[in-house]
Amino acid sequence: MYDLVLRNVIYRMDPEFAHRFAVVGFRYGGRLLRALGGRRSFPAPPASAAVHALGMEFAAPLGLAAGMDKNGEAVRGLAAAGFSHIEIGTVTARAQPGNDRPRSFREKDVRGLRNRMGFNNEGADAVARRLARLRSGRKGGDVILGVNIGKTKVTSPEDAPTDYGYSARLLAPYADYLVVNVSSPNTPGLRDLQSTDALRPILEHVRAAADDAVGDRHVPLLVKIAPDLADEDVDAVADLAVELGLDGIVATNTTIGHDRGPGGLSGPPLLPRALEVITRLRARVGPGMCLVGVGGITTVADARAMLAAGATLLQGYTAFVYEGPAWPARINAALGSR
């Protein structure tokens, strides 16, 4: 049924409007899920699918990548779709509108998405207030919630540590883990912050700000990197993560290695490089660090390949658009038999 909805309804919508429509739908719970897929489409993962990572027990490997729910509006509904964890964002210290439209595109021939959104979001203050309400609610406290934070566009590179720290201080009290995003291609100069000289003070500042905000509780800290990094730069980030005692690395963000127009491409074309990066990271950081594999996961075979490459957890977003709301539950249920 979802294929009919995709072809006859969703494809006729502007991509950004369809995205917003979906967020609103999931915001108001599981009604949309039942209408599109039916209860049988959303099996709970078996106990054998569980993963212990970041000091927590995840019901299954696959969670939702950042980018879908930028402002933390639909956490409960998205969790009901069968994701083991929800990563919201990217959230910046100040609210910002993002880049000019059009900025979201479907690449249907490869079942991919291309975007140049530019971190459009309501800002850390507004998102913190929303997450406070979520965490105090009857069903919001048990969702494993990651918060992905990025640099405000108008902030200079020199002031980036303070900018990231502001968001971390506000959002850490409501996050099960934080992700420092220095890898989106859609904010000018952001990817330059992946150099170890620029990245070190950001990570140190975020760690200190999060610790100050939560007291005795440890909020795991991860960094998200681009697939377009050269291998030696992947190694350098891995070494820095080990040196600073980071809890993990998220690999990878969208790629600019394509000829389809401006913005980062996600979906199946990204999978080979994402597997290479995860494999390289695992060899570099050893067995203990949490690696979150993202990029092009569509099938159970894709998910198993990413786990075999060394990923601890998985995330997806683009396949959720093309495969439908039952997709995460199907993948997680199947992974329980791996």
* pTM for this prediction: 0.95
Domain count, the chain: 1
233 has pLDDT over 90: yes
CATH value at residue 83: 3.20.20.70
Is 70 among the annotated ligand-binding positions? yes
pLDDT in tens, 250-266: 999 999 999 999 999 99
320 has pLDDT over 90: yes
What is the enclosing helix (H) or strand (E) of 330?
helix 327-335
Question: Could you list the active site residues?
Answer: 184
Task: Give me the helices (H) in 141-291, please.
Answer: 160-171, 196-214, 231-244, 271-285
Is 332 among the annotated ligand-binding positions? no
Instruction: Return the bridge partners of 112, or none.
Output: 107
Is 216 among the annotated ligand-binding positions? no
115: closest CA among 101, 126, 125?
101
Is 116 among the annotated ligand-binding positions? yes
26: closest CA among 70, 92, 91, 59?
70
pLDDT at 34: 47
Degrees to nearest 5, angle at CA 29 with 25 and 30: 95
Is 118 among the annotated ligand-binding positions? yes
pLDDT in tens, 21-33: 999 999 986 555 5
| Average pLDDT of span 102-129 | 98
Is 181 among the annotated ligand-binding positions? yes
Residue 261: how many CB atoms within 10 A of its CB? 11
39 has pLDDT over 50: no
286: closest CA among 255, 305, 310?
310
Residue 199 belongs to domain spanning: 2-335
246 has pLDDT over 80: yes
pLDDT in tens, 153-211: 999 999 999 999 999 999 999 999 999 999 999 999 999 999 999 999 999 999 999 99
pLDDT band at 232, cuts 50/70/90?
very high
Q: Is the peptide bond before 90 cis (omega within 30 degrees of 0)?
A: yes
| Average pLDDT of span 36-62 | 83
